[in-house]
Structure 1
Amino acid sequence: MTAITLPTDLIIRAATRDDAQAIIDLYAKVELAETGQSDNTVSDVYELWDGEKLDLANNSCAIFTASGELIGYTGVANTGRGVLLDVHTQVHPAYAELPLADFLLQFADERTRVLLAADDKLPRRLYTWGFTQSNTALFIQHGFTIENSDYRMEVILETEPQQPQPLPGITVRPFIPGKEERAVYDVIAEAFPDIDGKPYRPYEDWYEKVFEKTASFEPSMLYVAVAEDQIVGVTICRVYPDNGEGFIWQVGMRRAWRKRGIANQLLRTALTTYYQRGMKRIMLDVDANNATGAHQLYASIGMHKQSQVDSLVKTF
């Protein structure tokens, strides 16, 4: 592997938790330049580091100028589903003439090989998401391919949203913690393969991701639709009260109960709660090739496409 040389006056070291704000500031600089807005906060950095147990001391790299300005960052973590490249991987656009990206992504490759060598059951893949066109292009340039793409949709709740209309025989309510996790999963596991044709992740992986690794998950906003004494639809939500935003994370319906207005009722229930809690900008991601009618469903509650999110993978 060819060694990549950087100017000797740059400071290269492992990232620390104290660098989180500088990392999100750098990431937001690029995101704002390309999209006009940035959704990320420092809590997103901590959530990823803590949720995926990213070993900063060994598996992260930060590059600073002599004056202490952060101009590049990356990190990787063993997630059990492969190796995750931190989505906040970024280089400062003002230093594009330097091979910062080459250096950081070579570091990521090297640490990925170490993690894969230590766990022979780990899928031989490095994966991440590109939230801007420049990041997607950067990752493709370094050997990644696009696995699939989502549209990020959003609605700004300037006024109180339309109240959900009751449906005969359908009850929408918060789920019951400790009793209904498996039933919620069963709905998601039936619904999501209809989107991408792939088997859904095992229950244990889903539970860990939702209930243990994601600090922004709001259990009181996990809504279920109940019909004939069974859960037939679910909406799982995340909250970011510090910047007045919410994220509708997962929406799923049993096949036999689709096209009855139940998903619309679930979504309007979530929007009403977001509004009441002072969160006005609400987002979600939908597969660009979703053929279940989801695009029309989300448009019906006022959402519109804001950007594209690409899922990328590199095999080893």
Structure 2
Amino acid sequence: MSDLPEPWPLGYRSRSATTADVQAVHRLVTECERRLLGRAVTGFERIAADLGLPDQEPKPDSVLVRDSKGDPAGWGWMKGRRARVHVHPDHLGRGLGRSLLDWAEARARRLGIDRLSQSVPDSDHMANALLRSSGYFPLVTEWLLEITMPVEPEVPEPPAGITVRPFRPGDAQAAYQVTEDAFDEWQQRRKTYAEWARLTVERATFEPAASPVAFAGGQMVGVVLSSDVPGSDEGYVERVAVRRDHRARGIARMLLREAFRTFYHQGKGTCTLWTHTGTGALSLYERIGMTVQRSSTVHSKALTIEQRPPGPAGDRRRGDL
């Protein structure tokens, strides 16, 4: 595949990233995380999903930048209004970050996208400074919360009329409905079922035993979807959702503690999850004993859309935050 036309610092070349690059991109991203956070936190499946979901709409754009030896030095990813940029720690301070940011903004403008957002750990001072100097402003705060489990977590009794059991085959469609209905309150684009499933119940790390679901009158009204973190003593909660007409009854708290207890019996010493200001759920997690471990900020920038002659239908695409 030929190199892309965007300008890069001297000595660097680029091409579009493909599914064949999943391992290389994953190594690059996790090395960035080890240097910044002290540990790798992005799973291989996350990168594979970013590069390999054929039914995603809008389609993602990505670029892999290589040094003079052909080794990965940075990568950029953009889908709809979201972007991600990573520069290998050994290549920081050479202008790659700004070039990748320029690449993402240029791609967005060509596609008729009027705003671009990017989440950056608050501890990454260099990246935060770059975004601020490039016209981005803070939009949303994200928090990673953790609970340690030295003893078996206590689980409250279900509210009246509510039954609870672990996730079973056949629950996926109902879980999709409950979670996407709940997330519609703050997300800009509803996922298709196929996209949602690949990011949750079809992942190899999905842990149905630690994914309790709640029913009322035979209908699913609450769900927690969890993953097993390979090679660690940590469980991870991917999604928490309760149907609107059953909120404020303690269902989310009960489901979370049921997931914690399952992970405890599997030998996990901690459990983590991410939340952000849009969900309004931080106080819930803190009340059940979780504490903030680190934070990130979603930065956003309004873009001037590139004016282009009218093209075929579907030539201009819009996406989510």
TM-score by length of 2: 0.72
Please give the alpha-carbon distance, in whole angstroms, between the structure 2 residues aligned to 1:12 and 1:52.
23
Equivalent position SS for 1:104: helix
- Whether the 8 Å contact between 1:127 and 1:312 is mirrored in structure 2 is yes
Please give the alpha-carbon distance, in whole angstroms, between the structure 2 residues aligned to 1:308 and 1:235.
22
What is the identity, as a one-letter code, of the residue corresponding to 1:155? I
Please give the alpha-carbon distance, in whole angstroms, between the structure 2 residues aligned to 1:59 and 1:167.
45
Deviation, 1:299, is 2.6
Please give the alpha-carbon distance, in whole angstroms, between the structure 2 residues aligned to 1:186 and 1:71.
40
Match of 2:92 in 1: 96
Question: How many percent identity over aligned positions?
Answer: 27
- Whether the 8 Å contact between 1:246 and 1:279 is mirrored in structure 2 is yes
What is the identity, as a one-letter code, of the residue corresponding to 1:110? A
Match of 1:303 in 2: 290
Match of 1:110 in 2: 106
Match of 1:185 in 2: 177
**Selected match of 2:259 from 266, 270, 291:** 270
1:21-32 to 2 correspondence within 5 Å?
21-32=23-34
Structure 1 residue runs of 4 or more that deviate by more than 6 Å after TM superposition: none
Please give the alpha-carbon distance, in whole angstroms, between the structure 1 residues aligned to 2:164 and 2:294.
30
Please give the alpha-carbon distance, in whole angstroms, between the structure 2 residues aligned to 1:52 and 1:283.
30
Unaligned runs of 5+ in 2: 1-5, 306-321
- Give a deviation string over 1:52-104, Cα, whole Å, max 9, x none: 778xxx94332333344432211334xxxx2542x3x2113443332111222
Please give the alpha-carbon distance, in whole angstroms, between the structure 2 residues aligned to 1:241 and 1:199.
29
Q: Provide the aligned C-alpha RMSD in A.
A: 3.6
TM-score by length of 1: 0.73
**Selected match of 2:272 from 280, 283, 295:** 283
Q: Which deviates more, 300-309 or 174-183?
A: 174-183
Unaligned runs of 5+ in 1: 118-122
Please give the alpha-carbon distance, in whole angstroms, between the structure 1 residues aligned to 2:51 and 2:169.
26
1:33-72 to 2 correspondence within 5 Å?
33-51=35-53, 59-72=61-74
- Whether the 8 Å contact between 1:26 and 1:92 is mirrored in structure 2 is yes
Please give the alpha-carbon distance, in whole angstroms, between the structure 2 residues aligned to 1:256 and 1:68.
55
What is the identity, as a one-letter code, of the residue corresponding to 2:101? L
Cα distance 1:240–1:251, how it changes in 2: closer, same or farther (>3 A)?
Answer: same
- Whether the 8 Å contact between 1:63 and 1:73 is mirrored in structure 2 is yes
Cα distance 1:97–1:257, how it changes in 2: closer, same or farther (>3 A)?
Answer: closer
Match of 1:172 in 2: 164
- Give a deviation string over 1:16-70, Cα, whole Å, max 9, x none: 545444433433344334433331233321122223778xxx9433233334443
What is the identity, as a one-letter code, of the residue corresponding to 2:275? V
What is the identity, as a one-letter code, of the residue corresponding to 1:207? Y
Deviation, 1:199, is 7.4
**Selected match of 1:249 from 227, 230, 238:** 238
Deviation, 1:175, is 4.6
Deviation, 1:284, is 1.3
